[in-house]
Amino acid sequence: MLSIKDVSVRYGRSVDALRNVSFDVPEGEVVSVLGGNGAGKTTLLRAISATLKLHRGALTSGQISFDGKRIDKLDPARIVEQQVIQVPEGRQVFARMSVDENLRAGGLTADPKRRSVARDRIYELFPRLEERSKQPAGLLSGGEQQMLAIGRAMMCEPKLLLMDEPSLGLAPQLIARIGQIVQQINSEFGTAILLIEQNASMALRVSHRAVVLEVGELALEGNAAELAESDEVQALYLGGH
Ligand code: ATP
């Protein structure tokens, strides 16, 4: 479904953020991208969603295809039209707008007839958001804002959802809840998900496959359950020995 081939990204003259990264996200699967600070995870998402074009001086090479078509030369708005939707890092909800208005803003590009269906399904997935639908989004807790950011992205009925560190800054209980939501979206909506996470144990639990980035290069790739058992992932990312 999503195919990343030999993708390299350089910021300015000297920072090689990604070097020849290749892997696929198969239809209907959850693939997580693990790696420490500065490994290039966010850069990879920006390359796919084309938001790297908004960073002056970022140079990208390689090929990114979605459903068999090259998308790496498209603008961000055209990527959204392909139903490849990014949940931004750090939530970025519209604080003064109500929960409901935030969701409607997410669905502006969708077919109007489908908008209310999409919203009903999102409220089913997040009953807490429905309870607070009239409240300003800025008054929600951090976890609720993260749910709203995910719900807003789901308003576009994505075929592929790009999630940038959804568990960042959340308490352990909420991290587990985010993991459940990832699985629910994947199984109930059939959405493929590319999940960027520093929380490797949650990510590996909810993913079919995973890749590990180390300083811009693809270091490991495979079935998530098998990677979780590997000595290297245990030692580096799961606190094992
Ligand atoms: P983190 O988890 O800390 O967000 P990450 O794995 O997402 O890390 P990136 O944010 O993709 O990593 O950064 C990869 C490299 O590119 C780092 O060395 C970072 O300093 C550099 N970088 C990121 N954005 C820019 C930018 N706009 N200009 C210059 N260098 C950048």
The domains of the chain are located at 2-83+158-238, 94-156
94 lines ligand 1 (CB under 6 A): no
pLDDT, one tens digit per residue, over 125-146 is 999 999 999 999 999 998 899 9
Domain 2-83+158-238 coded CATH 3.40.50.300 = yes
Q: Is 38 helix (H, G, I), strand (E, B) or coil?
A: coil
217: pLDDT confidence band, cut at 50, 70 and 90? Answer: very high
Query: Which ipTM was obtained for this model?
Result: 0.94
CA distance 185 to 161: 9
Pocket flag, ligand 1, residue 33 (CB < 6 Å): no
1 Cβ contact partners less than 8 Å away, ≥ 6 residues apart? 24, 25, 26, 27, 66, 67, 159, 160, 192
Other Cβ atoms less than 10 A from the Cβ of 81: the count is 12
Quick one: which of 78, 27, 23 has its CA closest to 49?
A: 78
pLDDT of residue 90: 66
Ligand 1 binding pocket includes 42 (Cβ within 6 Å): yes
pLDDT digits (tens, 9 = 90+) for 12-58: 877 889 999 999 999 999 999 999 888 999 999 999 998 887 777 78
Helix (H) or strand (E) holding 45: helix 41-49
Of ligand 1's atoms, which has the minimum distance to the CA of residue 44? Answer: 11
* CA torsion, ordered 168, 166, 29, 211, to nearest 10 deg: -30
Residue 55 Cα: closest atom of ligand 1: 27
Helix, strand, coil % (nearest 5) of the chain? 40, 25, 30
181 neighbors 154 (Cβ within 8 angstroms): no
The H-or-E segment that residue 210 falls in is strand 209-214
pTM of the model: 0.92
Q: Which of ligand 1's atoms lies nearest the C-alpha of 12?
A: 29
**How far does residue 15's CA lie from ligand 1's centre (Å)?**
9
Query: In angstroms, rounded to a whole number, what is the distance separating the alpha carbons of residues 112 and 23?
Result: 35
